[in-house]
Amino acid sequence: MTAWTLNDIERAIRSSWGVDTCAPEDLAHWRPDNPARGQCGVTAMVVHDLLGGELMMGEVYVDGVRTDLHWWNRFATGFEIDLTREQFGPDELVGRGRPVARPARPGRLQAQYELLRTRVVAELERGAAADRTRLPSRARACA
């Protein structure tokens, strides 16, 4: 079994985002120069699949009005990781988060979640295979 670092996972996730993994309500705002837009729910679920921890959810406000929900991850140590925080503009504020139970199924984002998860796992496996080919031949025999 391969042990992936948080950097490996982040790199795989960021390279796997696309308009086809974006939440439907954010499609009009998704752009290649802001690929994190609309990716928070599916990204948090994939991070949870790979690293466990808790799913966190917070409300997003613009001018004091709730406009959306935002998802990220928190680990047992209290460390939080939010790989999609940069999707928000300066007028969008994410409120305090709370832990939420993982949905049994991703529901309306099922297709986007499955696509992102498939891409991320494939990217991680490609990286692990590339790392093995860079090992000296004696080390490769032990890997």
Establish if 56 belongs to a structural domain: yes
Establish if 84 belongs to a structural domain: yes
pLDDT for the residue 142:
47
The strand pair at 98-100 and 92-94 is best described as unpaired
Establish if 41 belongs to a structural domain: yes
Domain tally for the chain? 1
Q: What is the CB neighbour count within 10 angstroms for residue 53? A: 18
Q: Which parts of the chain register pLDDT below 50?
A: 140-143
In the three-class reduction of DSSP (H, G, I as helix; E, B as strand; rest coil), residue 62 is classed as: strand
Range of the domain at 47: 6-142
Contact indicator for 68, 60 with CB cutoff of 8 Å? yes
pLDDT for the residue 129:
65
From 109, 64, 60, 107, select the one nearest 88 (Cα to Cα). 60
pLDDT for the residue 35:
98
Establish if 1 belongs to a structural domain: no
From 71, 24, 78, 20, select the one nearest 46 (Cα to Cα). 71
pTM for the model:
0.87
Cα-trace Rg, the chain:
17
Establish if 123 belongs to a structural domain: yes
